[in-house]
């Protein structure tokens, strides 16, 4: 009975707050002469703060047109904005900037939804050793990471040298499908120097680019390495969950002036790999069994950063320099 009453009170509070909010919006429109969309666009700076407020306003609207505007096709965005302006009785000649601002927000909102679909498609596609394209990508990964060491055969213990668990990497891609391979190859190809350095450090952490004083201070004579490729697939899982949960909206809405793309996602993966590597060294785990603890601590730190509406995960390596200027 108590549980039922608690639920009833929560439902009543929900509808009361919703009614109160609609009344407040009505009063604000009468006082300012502007609808909520106008107030957001004119009073909030471009980026995640504005786009996320616009997204919430559209989703919570009682208008079906506004609710569905966040999921329209790219080609329909311009027409959708015209319909919204007409519905809100806003003259585009008097308020030209509003249409431009709404278009920028919708491109990001719709682009984020499409990016989730693209990433999900790659994640669901299993690695197929009979697919020449899949095999070519895998062999390129080896070439980018070990340019001076020929791979003796497709099935080889050499794969362990770049962090796979056995002599055939295809079994390690089961969790993240092709997405894991796409991300690893992107990192290894687009920022080869950094990727090769991270790989080397993961195998020989004591030889990392820390000064002797830093090694002694952090007792890194006993530093523990990790499996580069396996960790890359694990960080792919982290990036995927940040994307699907919406946590990466802050980052993408701040760095992508229009629609975030798969390249933006892969650049974010590169950043996370680079940052996790530094975090692992700083944490100085006793053994590899502490991986889950370190990963969870790292995940919480990234999520905390992304809760800042002005946050953009600022990369510091070649693969993602383009993000800074976007």
pLDDT tens digits, one per residue of 287-311: 888 999 999 999 999 999 999 999 9
Q: Tokens standing for 177?
A: 């499908």
What pLDDT score does 324 carry? 35
Angstrom distance (rounded) from CA 108 to CA 104: 7
pLDDT tens digits for range 123-134 = 999 999 999 999
pLDDT band, very low/low/confident/very high, at 317 (cuts 50, 70, 90): very low
Q: Of the given ranges (202-206, 234-238, 279-283), which has the lowest mean pLDDT? A: 202-206
pLDDT at 2 over 90: no
How does pLDDT run across 47-65, given as a tens digit for each residue? Answer: 999 999 999 999 988 899 9
Contact status, residue 270 vs residue 187, Cβ threshold 8 Å: yes
Q: What DSSP element (H or E) covers 259?
A: none
DSSP letters spanning 98-144: HHHHHHHHHHHHHHHHHHHHHHHHHHHSPP-TT-HHHHHHHHHHHHH
pTM of the predicted model as reported, rounded to 2 decimal places: 0.83
Q: What is the pLDDT of residues 167-180, one digit of tens each?
A: 999 999 988 999 99
Contact indicator for 57, 40 with CB cutoff of 8 Å: yes
Q: Which of 260, 213, 211 has its CA nearest to residue 105? A: 260
> Is the pLDDT confidence value at 318 over 80?
no
């Amino acid at each position: 009975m108590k549980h039922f009453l608690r639920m009833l009170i929560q439902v009543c509070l929900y509808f009361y707050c919703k009614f109160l909010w609609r009344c407040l919006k009505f009063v604000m429109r009468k006082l300012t002469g502007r609808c909520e969309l106008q107030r957001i666009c004119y009073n909030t700076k471009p980026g995640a703060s504005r786009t996320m407020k616009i997204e919430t306003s559209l989703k919570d609207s009682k208008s079906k047109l506004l609710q569905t505007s966040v999921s329209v096709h790219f080609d329909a965005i311009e027409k959708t904005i015209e319909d919204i302006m007409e519905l809100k009785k806003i003259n585009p000649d008097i308020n030209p900037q509003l249409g431009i601002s709404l278009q920028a927000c919708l491109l990001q909102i719709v682009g984020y939804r499409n990016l989730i679909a693209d990433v999900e498609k790659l994640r669901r596609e299993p690695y197929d050793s009979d697919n020449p394209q899949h095999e070519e990508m895998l062999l390129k990964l080896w070439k980018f990471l070990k340019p001076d060491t020929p791979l003796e055969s497709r099935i080889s213990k050499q794969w362990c040298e770049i962090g796979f668990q056995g002599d055939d990497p295809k079994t390690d891609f089961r969790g993240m499908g092709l997405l894991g391979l796409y991300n690893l190859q992107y990192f290894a190809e687009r920022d080869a120097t950094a990727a090769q350095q991270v790989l080397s450090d993961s195998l020989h952490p004591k030889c990392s680019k820390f000064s002797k004083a830093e090694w002694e201070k952090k007792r890194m004579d006993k530093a523990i390495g990790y499996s580069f490729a396996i960790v890359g697939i694990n960080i792919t899982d982290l990036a995927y969950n940040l994307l699907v949960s919406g946590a990466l909206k802050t980052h993408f809405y701040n760095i992508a002036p229009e629609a975030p793309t798969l390249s933006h996602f892969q650049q974010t993966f590169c950043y996370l790999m680079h940052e996790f590597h530094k975090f692992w060294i700083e944490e100085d785990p006793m053994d590899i069994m502490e991986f889950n603890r370190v990963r969870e601590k790292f995940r919480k730190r990234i999520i905390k950063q992304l809760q800042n509406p002005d946050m953009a995960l600022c990369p510091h390596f070649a693969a993602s320099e383009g993000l800074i200027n976007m």
